[in-house]
Amino acid sequence: MTTGVVTFEPAKFVARYPEFATADPDLLQAYFDEAALVYLDNTEASRVANIEPRAVLLNMLVAHIAQLNVGSSAQPASPLVGRINTATEGSVSAGADMGAVPGTAAWFMQTKYGASYWQATAQYRTMRYMPGRSGPGTGIPNFRWSH
């Protein structure tokens, strides 16, 4: 297992996501910084301890954020949030719906990159049992059962 921090590599990112080949590398770096600051800890204390999968996940987030903000050569950015669930042709109207998704999942489900990230991080969104001692001096109550 390799630890450390992930450094954004625009060439590797574009090799994986060629639809963002025309994106400004500085803007992609800004999206990477946002992803590491807000959505996925990019330090040695990250829930994703191994640097290789963390790099993949951060790149998924960069693609998601880029698609939401500026779009790609494959699809322009959309002002709609969610999937289109209603459409009218006369006088043009469209409605969007997130469907039945848990709270924070809705934001990720707006793009295929975010949906992939959400699925890939399922293992990290579970409760973690941290074994330890309870009792006096630990800040954790010491419950004793009596008969």
Mind listing the pLDDT tens digit for each residue in 101-131?
A: 666 788 898 889 999 999 999 999 887 666 7
d(CA 6, CA 145): 48
Looking at residue 147, what is its pLDDT?
47
Q: By CB neighbour count within 10 A (0-12 exposed, 13-18 middle, 19+ buried), where does 45 fall?
A: exposed
| SS3 sequence of 44-55 | CCCCCCCHHHHH
Residue pair 7/54 in contact (Cβ under 8 Å)? The answer is no
Show the low-confidence residues of the chain (pLDDT under 70): 1, 76-85, 96-103, 128-130, 132-147
State whether residue 71 is helix, strand or coil.
coil
* Domain residue ranges in the chain: 10-98+105-124
